[in-house]
């Protein structure tokens, strides 16, 4: 577990865009757990879902693996001969993930790649986890990426896509935004921390509606897609090829 997140605790004159830099990596596990309603459940159950679709000889991807939470979860559920592959653009994330994996006593081999998932060629795989990463990828790159993931997902395999979402309905948007902020307050974040983080993410993270995600997954070739988890404006879809 990382240090307690105090990254936005002091006033910052002009808040720079959020980035997955070394200082963020130091507090990342605590930050994401106290900021994302339902995050721990989504991660814990990602492993259980992966085991439903992937077997001993399969490749399994974690796209935007950060410090390795979804990889750990999948490692606990998958046979030792499954090939896990984690990809992240942030060098400090990959470094921390490698150190965390080394501490784990056993489990399948994990290949870590520092790279942009939007520019990666995927090998055929039974399962992809894309947990809270698509929202950071430029909007115009999302359909081509999902399409390449779908093509690499073998028939009967699946993609778990977890995202913060927005709502077209203004009442729902307001309600879930308020609930999210209240959740953060109850996790010990001050109003200053909440508002500075919000400003930092404004140009960096672009949530979409559930309808947009569903349509994109269908268009990419997934024959079935359903929400399996939602907590306020954080949700996870499972799409089956």
Site residues for ligand GEK per CB under 6 A? 20, 32, 43, 64-66, 69-70, 87-90, 93, 116-118, 131-133, 136-137
**Given the complex with ligand GEK, which of 43 and 152 has the nearer CB atom?**
43
**Given the complex with ligand GEK, which of 29 and 171 has the nearer CB atom?**
29
> Least distance to ligand GEK from the beta carbon of 66, Å?
4
**Given the complex with ligand GEK, which of 197 and 241 has the nearer CB atom?**
197
Task: Tell me the CA end-to-end span of the chain in Å, nearest whole number.
Answer: 35
Tokens of 49: 């879902």
> Least distance to ligand GEK from the beta carbon of 52, Å?
18
> Least distance to ligand GEK from the beta carbon of 39, Å?
7
> Least distance to ligand GEK from the beta carbon of 185, Å?
18
On whether the CB atoms of residues 154 and 232 are closer than 8 A, the answer is: no
Sequential DSSP letters for 60-108: EEEES-TTSHHHHHHHHHS-TTSEEEEEES-HHHHHHHHHHHHHS---S
Q: What are the φ and ψ backbone dihedral angles of 25, each rounded to 5 degrees?
A: -60, -35
The SS3 assignment for 124 reads coil
Closest residue to ligand GEK: CB criterion: 64
């Amino acid at each position: 577990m990382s240090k307690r997140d105090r990254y936005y605790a002091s006033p910052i004159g002009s808040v720079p865009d959020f980035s997955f830099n070394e200082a963020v990596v130091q507090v990342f596990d605590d930050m994401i757990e106290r900021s994302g309603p339902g995050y721990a459940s989504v991660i814990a159950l990602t492993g259980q879902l992966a085991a439903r679709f992937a077997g001993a000889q399969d490749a399994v991807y974690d796209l935007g693996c950060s410090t390795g939470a979804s990889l750990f979860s999948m490692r606990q559920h998958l046979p030792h001969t499954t090939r896990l592959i984690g990809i992240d653009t942030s060098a400090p994330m990959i470094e921390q993930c490698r150190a965390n994996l080394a501490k784990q006593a056993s489990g399948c081999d994990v290949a870590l790649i520092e790279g942009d998932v939007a520019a990666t060629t995927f090998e055929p795989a039974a399962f992809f986890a894309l947990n809270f990463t698509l929202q950071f990828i430029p909007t115009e790159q999302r359909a081509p990426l999902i399409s390449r993931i779908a093509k690499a997902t073998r028939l009967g395999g699946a993609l778990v896509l977890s995202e913060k979402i927005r709502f077209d309905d203004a009442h729902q948007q307001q309600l879930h935004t308020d609930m999210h902020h209240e959740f953060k307050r109850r996790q010990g974040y001050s109003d200053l921390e909440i508002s500075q983080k919000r400003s930092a993410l404004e140009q960096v993270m672009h949530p979409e509606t559930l309808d947009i995600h569903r349509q994109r997954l269908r268009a990419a070739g997934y024959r079935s897609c359903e929400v399996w988890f939602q907590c306020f404006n954080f949700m996870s879809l499972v799409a089956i090829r």
